[in-house]
A = this chain, B = another copy of it.
Amino acid sequence: MSARQPTSHDVARAAGVSQSTVSYALSGKGTIAPRTREHVLAVAASMGYRPNLAARSMRTQRSGRLAVVTGVTVDNRLRMLTGAAEVAAEAGYALDTHSVDGTAEARTERVVDLARSGQVEGVLTFLPVVPDALTLDDDAAPVVAETALDEQLRTTGELADAGLLGTVISALAAAGHRRFLHVAGPEHFASARSRRDVYLAEVERLGVESLGVVGSAWSPESGRAAMLALPDDAVPLAVIAANDYVALGVLRGAAERGWSVPGDLVVTGWDDADFSAFTSPSLTTIPVDFVEAGRRAMRRLVAAVRGEEPPRPTAPLQRVVWRESTGNLPRTAG
């Protein structure tokens, strides 16, 4: 009983025209009389006709498909993926999802493999890759990496912009904080590296004391461990955590040490995770619009695939939200 999908031939027969006329009518390309065109369109619609993408792809030599590479992490990848899927759909591409686990090398290999596969017209990776290992032939599909900062790579780099951390640290210094600590994220994330770099530059510039940079993960465990490793006289202290998960661990570790927040120490995070406004104390953080970041990354990929100029980002993605973990600040007191 299962009535197969109608083809352009079926539509042609029903409309009383040739198959090529159907194709021209639907694509709007050739020179079809308006009346003919409308008639064909009406018939096609009434039959629920949908072009067979595989056939089109074979003829046009374009797969109409893009790939996104992701994996499991404590992160906001699904939001980025959502934004990316939205833009890909608007641009008329199907989006293949590839989940990759393992080392950065393994991921890089997978990305290279995809780019060379000929099955997709472009690759967007949300996982860090090894730029040096990402050697692509001329005929490989373009690759956009959201988490890498490298001259060789097309990258949006927006998530790696750590500029606001300077603002945060100077505001804390202006509020009287004199001793800082940075609990960093994983080295292979561009965002983690630039946060660390801005931290180091800013404590240097302000001439405040730094207990150094510890940790290399996005996890609460890392923040907690950093607190447990501190000497008893470490407080008063301002802790700059690489993101909110790390900051949450700092909160937890501080509680275990008997340090009050924001009394004995203050903490800042990054990303405005779903929980950050509801911890006690709530977390001062730098919200990131990950859905929009995903959209922008995909727009960049689509532009690369089409050989167009990459779009210029308009509004900045980040800002600072001062909450209880720093006793608030700029807005409220000083």
Query: Residues on A close to B: CB < 8 A?
Result: 1-5, 48, 50, 52-55, 57-58, 63, 65, 68, 70-72, 74, 77-79, 81-83, 85-86, 89, 94-99, 116-119, 137-139, 219-220, 224, 245, 248-249, 251-252, 255, 273-275, 277-280, 282, 291
Contacts and interface: CB of A to CB of B under 8 A. Distances in A.
Nearest to A280: B255
B70 A99 contact: no
A8 to B, nearest CB: 13
A89 B98 contact: yes
A325 B141 CA distance: 51
Given A2-B138, A70-B82, A251-B280, 14 more contacts: A52-B58, A53-B119, A54-B54, A54-B55, A81-B99, A83-B99, A85-B99, A86-B99, A95-B98, A220-B274, A248-B279, A251-B278, A252-B280, A280-B280
A221 to B, nearest CB: 8
Nearest to A69: B85
Contacts of A79: 72
B68 A78 contact: no
* Interface residues of A, dominant DSSP: mixed
Contact of A94 (B2, B96, B273): B96
A280 B282 CA distance: 12
Contacts of A65: 94
Nearest to A255: B280
Nearest to A117: B50
Q: How many copies does the complex hold?
A: 2
A44 B279 CA distance: 58
A275 B248 contact: yes
Contacts of A1: 138-139
A278 to B, nearest CB: 4
B97 A81 contact: yes
A96 B96 contact: yes
Contacts of A4: 139
B54 A248 contact: no
A94 B57 CA distance: 15
